[in-house]
Amino acid sequence: MLVLVANLGSTSFKYRLFEMTDDGAIDDIQNARCLAKGAVERIGDAQSKCTVEIGDWSNELTMSVPDHGVAVQACLDQLTDPENGAIEDASQVAAIGFKAVHGGRLSGVFVVDDQVLDAMAEMNAAAPAHNPPYIAAMKTLQARFPDLPLVAAFETDFHQTIPAARKEYAIPRQWADEFHIRKWGFHGASHRYIAFRSAEILGRQDARVISCHLGGSSSITAIENRQSVQTTMGMTPQTGLPQNNRVGDFDPFALPLILQRTGLSLDEALQELASKGGLLGLSNRSGDIRDVEQAASEGDSQSQLALDVFIEEIRRHLGGMLVALGGADAIVFTGGIGENDTLVRGRVCAGLEQLGIVVDPAANEGLRDRTNDLGEASFHAGDSKTQLWVIPTNEEVIVARQTLHALKHS
């Protein structure tokens, strides 16, 4: 069975096409073969860019793509290219699975219908950069491809197993009950993949694992028995660790002072916190960790501060995860920073020997030369009680498996 997995932005459509066995469980991450991947960028512009990779063949073309429905059609046209396509006909695609963000009262995996779209719309204020473009795209695709099932796999789903004492805010009960205000957690597909894959590597289904998804958007999750038991993101993806340009944890009672002193409206202040905060705000230079590290190495004090704050926040939350789990069998780094940034990995794990966490500096530095076919490698010392790993995540294969599971049980 063929499943197309979509990752949407307001002006982009990235996808992967998977060939799936239809008898596997959600955690059967091995029985999925990626046949093709591609993207449509600058949707709405007169000159949108469409790219595709199918085996050794790749293609890029420029065309007008006014909406996400046309983007999907362009994607299907490339996938069915007579000479190099991955499939013969678009009707072979069984469904499109979406890595959806926030469904509020709906947290799980659902075939998209009016109820799902309404639940997402209720959370527009909590996920303004994600939910509106997903809703618009889903409605467009429903109209253009009425016989093609759409499946929403919400990122909050993996965190439903977190105990109540770790997911409730100390707010009036009415707010929690009526407005669904709680610590929902995000990056669910990524942390779920790390949960399943680390269990395979360690040979233990009951392993205690701390998954550090560090990238443009970052979060940490404590995993036990392959289930989420604690995570850093809360009601929205804005909270927890500092992001590339998002504030992370922030005292809401500072907002009245900001509004009074700047003259900004509440919406304007929130927009600044969501787009000019994080590494960008701290460094006053860039939200890209590579730029920040480079500037810090050249003596820029603000960039050094940004780097230090980022690492200290990771370490602070890492400590909380260790307490929640009572120790860890493995700490896993994933995401663009987690997989590629030797300095961040080394500094996060430094000085934790008394906690049984011991880095092999040479293994950390030379990790790229030691990875397996999946890009995985360890960098813990021989006497470390906690294993340290880099495991590239694969959110798309999780969403593909969830999509197939939803179709079978709808």
Position 145 pLDDT exceeds 90: no
67-124 per-position pLDDT tens digit: 888 888 888 888 988 999 999 988 899 999 999 999 999 999 999 999 999 999 999 9
CATH code: domain 203-395 is: 3.30.420.40
Instruction: Confirm if 166 and 117 have CB atoms less than 8 A apart.
Output: no
Tokens of 376: 């995985």
335-360 per-position pLDDT tens digit: 999 999 999 999 999 999 999 999 99
336 known member of a binding site: yes
Amino acid letter, residue 275:
S
When computed from its CA atoms, the radius of gyration of the chain, rounded to whole angstroms, is 22
14 known member of a binding site: yes
37 known member of a binding site: no
pLDDT at 24: 54
Short-list 361, 308, 360, 314, CA closest to 333: 314
230-267 per-position pLDDT tens digit: 999 999 999 999 999 999 999 999 999 999 999 999 99
Amino acid letter, residue 323:
V
337 known member of a binding site: yes
210 known member of a binding site: no
Give Cβ neighbours of residue 221 (< 8 Å, ≥ 6 apart).
158, 159, 185, 187, 191, 194, 210, 211, 213, 228, 230, 231, 232, 321
Give Cβ neighbours of residue 168 (< 8 Å, ≥ 6 apart).
176, 182, 183
289 known member of a binding site: yes
**What whole-number percentage of the chain has pLDDT above 90?**
81
Short-list 189, 186, 215, CA closest to 98: 189
59 known member of a binding site: no
The three-state secondary structure class of 271 is: helix
**d(Cα 177, Cα 138) in Å, to the nearest integer?**
28
**d(Cα 94, Cα 90) in Å, to the nearest integer?**
9
- Angle at Cα 393 formed by Cα 389 and Cα 397, nearest 5°? 140
Q: The CATH number of 2-154 is which of 3.90.1150.10, 3.30.420.40, 2.70.50.60, 3.40.1500.10?
A: 3.30.420.40
**d(Cα 150, Cα 148) in Å, to the nearest integer?**
7
250 backbone dihedrals φ, ψ, rounded to 5°: -160, 140
DSSP letters along 215-234, please?
SSS-EEEEEETTEEEEES--
- Sequence spans of domains, the chain: 2-154, 203-395
Which of the two residues, 69 and 38, has the higher pLDDT score? 38
**d(Cα 126, Cα 107) in Å, to the nearest integer?**
14
How do beta strands 208-213 and 330-334 pair?
A: parallel
225 known member of a binding site: no
200-210 per-position pLDDT tens digit: 999 999 999 99
Tokens of 264: 């900004």
395 known member of a binding site: yes
Average pLDDT value over all residues in the chain: 94
DSSP 359: B
Question: Do the domains 203-395 and 2-154 match in fold?
Answer: yes
DSSP letters along 106-158, please?
--SEEE--HHHHHHHHHTTTTSTTTHHHHHHHHHHHHHH-TTS-EEEE-TTGG
